[in-house]
Amino acid sequence: MSPAAPGNAAQTAPSPSSLTRNYLSVADLSPEEILHLLDRALELKRFRTTEHPLAGRTAGLVFQKPSLRTRVSFEVAMLQLGGHAVYLSPAEVGLGQREAAVDVARVLSRYVDVLVARVFLHSDVVALAEYASVPVINALSDREHPCQILADLLTLYERRGTLRGLHLAYVGDGNNVAHSLALAAPGLGIHLRVACPDGYEPDGAIMDQAQAGAPTGAIELFRDPREAVRGADAVYTDTWYSMGQESEAEARAPAFRRFQLNSELLAEAKPGAMAMHCLPAHRNQEITDEVMDGGASVVYDQAENRLHVQKALLLKLFGRD
């Protein structure tokens, strides 16, 4: 279904979406804004406020894919800030099937104050943002997972006190998580080394965007995971097959095997290096039990930090930061 012509849009849209602030990509926030959000999130984590700055506000959660962390952390974030969240499953909305994104965006904008959308195609969250008159937050698309990366940055920041100068290695699939990491890292002074199997590299155009304006070598690509991990402060991995790619799991496994985050690979990193994963993990595929449950693992901090940093993000979008 294609969106209606702009002439029709003018009759129905309550206000142009260009006046709202969307968060579709981690690149929608400047490095300074990210650092400000991280400080605010740390404050919110340490001193849980009893104030309700979002009283009367509602978030519409439009999810085309399953979720544990994203759904719960956004729902709890809204609740703790005094607002409310309405979860809409794929069965209810059928984005692009039961109803075009343009109509979903326009209708929901009449009920809710912010949209949080988890979609297959990035173009769907872009379409929602184009036609919504309220802010739209990307809660994961095939291109990016920007909220996750804010939580990961918060985890690094609270553990190390600074992001500047950190060496972060990402091993595995060049997917949405890798893209958001790459788009955020250089501006914050993080050196990112990415190791992917042949044919599973991050998108070239996104990597060019990430590298643009950054010092040469801010992001390096490797084929050998050990080279990428050598001397790193933190080692990050994600599933070898993302949601929607389950049918490729078996075919992909051989190419990814040597990219497993196990104790041997982690031993190449700095002593005390952190092991990171956005979850859900396929234990003993991309990450071993030993690493997930070991002393280096910060995976549950990453998960917890989704809540704190999304509270900071929501406050920012509502002008209450």
Contact segment (CB under 6 A) with ligand NVA among 173-181, 226-234, 267-275, 291-299 equals: 173-181
Min. distance of Cβ 137 from ligand CP in angstroms? 13
- Closest to 174 in 3D by CA, of 265, 238, 228, 260: 238
* 68 binding partner (options ligand NVA, ligand CP, none; Cβ < 5 to 8 Å by kind): ligand CP
- Closest to 158 in 3D by CA, of 268, 315, 266, 298: 298
User: Which chain residues interact with ligand CP by CB under 6 A?
Assistant: 67-70, 140, 148, 278-280
Residues 101/136, Cβ–Cβ less than 8 Å: no
Nearer to ligand CP, 81 or 140 (CB): 140
Min. distance of Cβ 73 from ligand CP in angstroms? 8
| Cα three-residue angle 144-145-150, rounded to 5 degrees | 125
Position of tokens 């918060």?
154
- Closest to 113 in 3D by CA, of 182, 61, 41: 61
Nearer to ligand CP, 255 or 279 (CB): 279
Per annotation, catalytic residue among 148, 260, 302, 310: 148
* CA distance readout (Å), 225 to 152, 186, 198, 207, 236: 20, 20, 12, 18, 11
Min. distance of Cβ 69 from ligand CP in angstroms? 4
Q: Which two tokens stand for residue 219?
A: 């992001």
* 310 binding partner (options ligand NVA, ligand CP, none; Cβ < 5 to 8 Å by kind): none
Min. distance of Cβ 185 from ligand NVA in angstroms? 17
Q: Is 239 in the site for ligand NVA (CB under 6 A)?
A: yes
Position of tokens 């981690």?
26
Per annotation, catalytic residue among 40, 145, 179, 193: 145
Radius of gyration of the chain, Cα coordinates, nearest whole angstrom: 19
Sheet holding 274-277, edge to edge: 219-222, 191-195, 167-171, 234-237, 274-277
Q: Is 147 in the site for ligand NVA (CB under 6 A)?
A: no
Nearer to ligand CP, 130 or 173 (CB): 173
- Closest to 151 in 3D by CA, of 34, 62, 239: 34
- Assess whether 282 carries a catalytic annotation: no
- Assess whether 238 carries a catalytic annotation: yes
Min. distance of Cβ 64 from ligand NVA in angstroms? 11
- Give the type of residue at 117: A
Q: Is 177 in the site for ligand NVA (CB under 6 A)?
A: yes
At 115 the three-state DSSP class reads strand
- Assess whether 196 carries a catalytic annotation: no
Nearer to ligand NVA, 13 or 185 (CB): 185
- Assess whether 145 carries a catalytic annotation: yes
Min. distance of Cβ 314 from ligand CP in angstroms? 16
- Assess whether 285 carries a catalytic annotation: no
- Assess whether 147 carries a catalytic annotation: no
Report the greatest alpha carbon distance in the chain.
62
Residues 70/306, Cβ–Cβ less than 8 Å: yes
| Residues with a known catalytic role | 118, 145, 148, 238, 278, 306
Residues found near ligand NVA in the complex (CB under 6 A)? 140, 145, 175-177, 238-239, 242-243, 278
